[in-house]
Amino acid sequence: MGFVGLLYVGAVLFINGLMLLGAVEPRSAAPINLFVGALQVITPTYLIFTANGDPAVILNASGLYLFGFTYLYVGINLLAGLDGTGVGWFSLFVAVVAVGYAWANWQLLGSLPFAVIWLYWAFLWALFFLVLGLKREELTRYTGWVTVIEAWVTAAIPAFLLLTGLWREPGITAIALAVVGVVVFGALYARIHPRAPSAPATTPTRTAHPAAG
């Protein structure tokens, strides 16, 4: 059931990334945030209530609320035209906790690929904090592209592979995800991050000697 929700997380991240890039009007992105946000609250609640006290299931499900609340928060903000600083600071909380979930997936749940995916999410939500919480608007375009990429790499594609039984070779998958993340996001930042304008070149001027005629 959680894999179904992950598929639609890909959808909402894709739309939100396009919104940050200016391709989707903000209010029109509100419904998908509310739909997926509600799904990401209902799904973990069901999983926890039917877990029969299994700590691994409860741990896995508990992290879904972080995203469910994010999307509900964003959807309500967009419809009401509210300031985004609240979402931004909540995103900082999500980013910090996501690092903990990365560790838990690696050490407690034995899922290296999802440990790396949680680090992807920690990075993305940290960007949301910078753009919305600290108003670093120069990072908006970069964050939009990172969001679009993560929609597919961390959500839609893994969910489809898991749903179809094609999720294999977790060790290789984890390494590939880590390498792709560092290379792609680093190259993207270098390409589109605005640089400070360089000082105009000046031509040295010849200073007249006091004795010159």
pLDDT bin (cut points 50, 70, 90) of residue 212 is very low
pLDDT tens-digit profile of 53-100?
999 999 999 999 999 999 999 999 999 999 999 999 999 999 999 999
How far is the C-alpha of 138 from the C-alpha of 142, rounded, in Å?
8
- Does residue 206 surpass a pLDDT of 50? no
pLDDT bin (cut points 50, 70, 90) of residue 194 is low
List the chain domain ranges. 2-166
The lowest-confidence range among 28-37, 110-119, 173-182 is 173-182
Which distant-in-sequence residues (6+ apart) come within 8 Å of 128 by Cβ?
A: 87, 88, 91, 95, 143
Per-residue pLDDT at 180:
84
Nearest to 120 by CA among 71, 173, 83, 169: 173
Beta-carbon count within 10 A of 73 CB: 18
pLDDT tens-digit profile of 132-174?
999 999 999 999 999 999 999 999 999 998 999 888 877 788 8
pLDDT bin (cut points 50, 70, 90) of residue 107 is very high
How far is the C-alpha of 160 from the C-alpha of 6, rounded, in Å?
9
For domain 2-166, the question of CATH label 1.25.40.600 is answered with yes
- Does residue 179 surpass a pLDDT of 70? yes
